Structure 1
Amino acid sequence: MYKTTKANISSRKIGRFITNKPYLIFGPPVASSSPEDRYIYLPAMIVLEQDRSFIISVVEKMNRNPQTDYSIDSLALDAGMSIRKFTDIFRSVTGNSVHQQLTVTRMEKAMELLRSSNLPVSNISKKVGYRSSSSFTRKFKKYADMTPLEYRHSQ
């Protein structure tokens, strides 16, 4: 179970953040002699409900249309946010970056198509948004630890 508490860590660099600000502490304990090194420190982020709702609608749009090329610039512009704020809120709400979320969505849709249809892999790769079936196969293998054809035959 992860422990979550507020902390004020003075004059210590953590990643690219210089502390002296309230931080939420996440993460399992690790073997360390220093109590400060037992957790991963991330800045606290408060997400407004309207921002959360917008992010959820973006994820639903990705689920409906995985073949669309989504631009972080245009998504942030639609939300009326800076790119940095949009990506931070997106990661806070979903746990993934926009790119990671889109990859997961595309791979899950591809797995569904591989299970339920006899479409060639090249067609499935286009249906889920990849221009090249070889790049799709590479991504799929990295995601599922097997090629699309191996996945189809294992189902």
Structure 2
Amino acid sequence: MAEKVNVSLRNRSFYIDYSRGYENSRDMQHYHLHQDYEIFYLLEGEKVFLIDGKKFVATKDTIMLIDKNILHKTIVNDHKYQRIVLNFRDCFLLEDDQILLSTLFKRGPLMLSVKNPTTCQKILEKMLEEYFLDNPSSDRYLQLLLSQLLIECERLIHSQTSTLEHSKATCNQHELIDGMITYINERFHQDITLSILANKFYLHEQSISKLFKQSIGCSFTEYLNAVRITEAKRLLTETTLKINQITKKVGYTNHVHFWRIFKKFTSMSPNDYRGQETDKCKRLIDKV
């Protein structure tokens, strides 16, 4: 499905962002996935989502609900779009509201049309305000607002049951792939093989390979490399570690192999990538 996969590894359990198309209007070059749930609200314009082999065209006042560890990308049709996107992990949601996750996310990607947008928009606007306020009680307030937003989405589902678009993946399959992805994301710097995963999750190696292809759209090896290269790019940008140190830190034992995989994902060598990112930082500093 995708030759390259970008993996987002956020440190925060809740994230929200507002953007206008003319500020950031490029298509996603590659499919990506992240280990948190995503809620995308389109305030204006049009946005195309490619998810699980399906195409979703979102228009004004549309909400997209995307489960964690689902491969997806967006295409820009309208450069005047405005959107709010938020991501959160299970641990951020209040315990009593965990049941909402199966209704809203485990059925596959859902596209909901908001008939009365005022309520949802007010919740999202308050989330943005609270997120950047960084008050000691902000997380608690954001949790309550998130619960309110999810309840509004649940009500939308009940009113649009006959028109909802969703994938056919089973919950059991997704729970398995979710567990494997979590395992890889936490241990990518170690030696991880199909054999190790098979023993850990009590599955045959061929079954795991098939599950990765069906659920994510890439192979086990491609996903593992994507996670490792994502971390390598961060270390090249944010640290002064030598290339051979980074090679070992992200789980590769062979420097030549790391160089080859890195170039496959980025079309440049680790040294060239570090130089490019350093130049970008210098240009930004010069502008200030």
Q: Spell out the pairing of 1:16-35 with structure 2 (5 A cutoff).
A: none
TM-score (normalised: structure 2): 0.37
C-alpha distance in 1, partners of 2:222/2:246?
A: 19
- Structure 1: runs of 5 or more not aligned: 5-45
Aligned position for 2:259: 137
Task: Choose from 190, 194, 203 the match for 1:68.
Answer: 190
Q: CA RMSD in A?
A: 2.1
Whether 1:53 aligns to 2:170 is no
Task: Choose from 213, 224, 238 the match for 1:116.
Answer: 238
**Percentage of pairs with the same residue:** 26
- Higher RCO (CA 8 Å, separation ≥ 6 residues): 2
Aligned position for 2:247: 125
AA partner of residue 213 (structure 2):
R
Moved more, 141-150 or 61-70: 61-70
Q: Is the 8 A contact 1:141 1:148 kept in 2?
A: yes
TM-score (normalised: structure 1): 0.65
C-alpha distance in 2, partners of 1:108/1:69?
A: 17
C-alpha displacement of 1:50? 2.6
C-alpha distance in 2, partners of 1:101/1:131?
A: 18
- Report Cα offsets for 1:62-115 as digits up to 9, x if no partner: 222221121212312332222222211121111111011111111111001111
Aligned position for 2:217: 95
Which structure features the higher share of helix residues?
Answer: 1
Whether 1:154 aligns to 2:276 is yes
Which structure features the higher share of strand residues?
Answer: 2
C-alpha displacement of 1:57? 2.1
Say how many residue pairs are matched: 114
CA 1:81–1:132: 2 relative to 1, 3 Å: closer
**Secondary structure of 2:191 counterpart:** coil
